[in-house]
Amino acid sequence: MVGTDRRSVRLHLRGAPGGRALPLKSALDVEYSEFDLSCAQMKRYLITGASRGIGRAIAEKLAGKDVELLLHGRDTVALAQTRKVVEPQCAKVIPLIHDLATTRGVSDLIAEVGRDAIDLLVNNAGIAIVKPFTEITSIEWEQTIGVNVTAPFVLTQRFAPRMPPGSSSSTFFPSQQKQRSQTGALIA
């Protein structure tokens, strides 16, 4: 698809009041608007914490011939393994090694991504300190806040406004990790 042939399809699944099923035709509301359906147009996706676990699995899902994957992590060996898996299916794969617990690491990542817009930001990198609440050190707390809260905030603030229409930022909130203090207060 080239030139002015740009459109978008959004599918809204609608249920009838009271949970009754609707005939398929009325349940699907197809809407066309400004968005490029083109498979030929290159997409740029940034995934933080892509060196292992969920981040690697997301990288494998997003890999495609029309996709430039920006894979972030800290562990160079593990990130290289992710790269090796997805590279044959991608137009381009760029590894980005930065520590997101530090302000410097986040700004270096932003600088390395560069001025070209990205189409998708997956804020996946995260830390889960699994130990009794009272034993968490201030350094562990600061790192957790840095990676799990500040980095996604700064990255989303930086990249989301410049994303093309139809793009999105997706954030996993690692704060699903919850710890109970001795007084019973729930810390999220």
Would you tell me which residues interact with ligand NAP (CB under 6 A)?
49, 51-55, 73-75, 78, 99-101, 124-128, 147, 172, 174, 176
Q: Which residue's CB atom is positioned nearest to ligand NAP? A: 126
Least separation, in Å, of the C-beta of 67 and ligand NAP? 19
Question: Residue-wise over 105-125: b if at least 16 C-beta within 10 A, else e?
Answer: bbebbeeebeeeebbbbbbbb
**C-alpha span between 154 and 75 (Å, rounded):** 22
Q: Shortest approach of ligand NAP to residue 182 CB, angstroms?
A: 24
Nearer to ligand NAP, 86 or 147 (CB): 147
Task: Give whichever of 146 and 167 is closer to ligand NAP, judged by the CB atom.
Answer: 146
Nearer to ligand NAP by Cβ, of 53 and 114: the residue is 53
The Cα–Cα gap between 188 and 185 comes to 10
Nearer to ligand NAP among residue 67 and residue 79 (C-beta): 79
* Residue 151: strand, helix, or coil: helix
The answer to whether 169 and 159 are in contact (CB under 8 A) is: yes
Closest distance of CB 168 from ligand NAP, Å: 17
Taking the least distance from each CB to ligand NAP, the nearer of 11 and 139 is 139
User: What is the closest distance, in whole angstroms, from the C-beta atom of residue 177 to ligand NAP in the complex?
Assistant: 6
Cβ 36 to ligand NAP, closest distance in Å? 30
Give 159 or 172: the residue with its C-beta nearer to ligand NAP: 172
The rounded distance, in Å, linking the Cα atoms of 118 and 167 is: 8
Smallest separation, CB 58 to ligand NAP (Å): 9
What number of other Cβ atoms are within 10 A of residue 176's Cβ?
9
Closest CA to 51 of 125, 153, 127, 148: 125
Compute the half-sphere exposure of residue 118: CA atoms within 13 Å on the CB side of its CA. 23
